Amino acid sequence: MTDHPHHPLSCRQLTEHSSAFLEGTLGDEIWGSFKDHLERCPPCAEYVRQMGMTVELVRRLPGDRGTCARAELVDRFRKWRSGGG
């Protein structure tokens, strides 16, 4: 399973490109060897699947919203308005 010396990409190199692969920004020059490796190497396929799930989990988190700065800034906004901009 971990012995496939003919792949031009090592497992380690594949993992380093996994993020770009998931984004669809993998360079043409390694696309072929990446896909080839992925199809033959279950551990790497699992790693890529896990990275995809990780990204999905991060994407579901609520973003930074709301702030105690609102009241103060709205106040400044009103002053900015009345100052004629």
Partner 1 sequence: MHDQPVHTTDRARVAALLAGDADAFGDLVDEHHPTMLRVARWYVSNDQVAEEVTQETWLAILDGLATFEGRSSLKTWMFRILANRARTRAKREGRSVPMSALDGGNDEPLDADRFDERGFWRTPPERWSTDPESLTADRELASRVMSAIDDLPERQRTVLVLRDVEGWSSEEVRNALDLSETNQRVLLHRARAKVRAAIAPQLERVR
* SS3 state of residue 18: helix
The residue within the footprint of partner 1, chosen from 30, 33, 36, 51 (CB under 8 A), is: 51
Q: Which does 28 bind (CB under 5 to 8 A by kind): Zn ion, partner 1, none?
A: none
Query: Which of 14, 54, 22, 3 is closest to 38 using CA atoms?
Result: 14
Residue with the two structure tokens 């995809």: 52
Query: 25: phi > 0 → left, psi -120 to 50 → alpha, else beta; which?
Result: alpha
For residues 32 to 51, the per-residue mask of contacts with Zn ion, x marking binding by CB under 5 A and - elsewhere, is ---------x--x-------
Query: 84: phi > 0 → left, psi -120 to 50 → alpha, else beta; which?
Result: left
The residues that touch Zn ion, with contacts defined as CB under 5 A, are 11, 41, 44
- The site for partner 1 (CB under 8 A) is made up of 1-5, 10-13, 15-16, 18-20, 23, 25, 42-44, 46-47, 49-51, 53-61, 63-67, 69-70, 73-74, 76-78, 80-81, 85
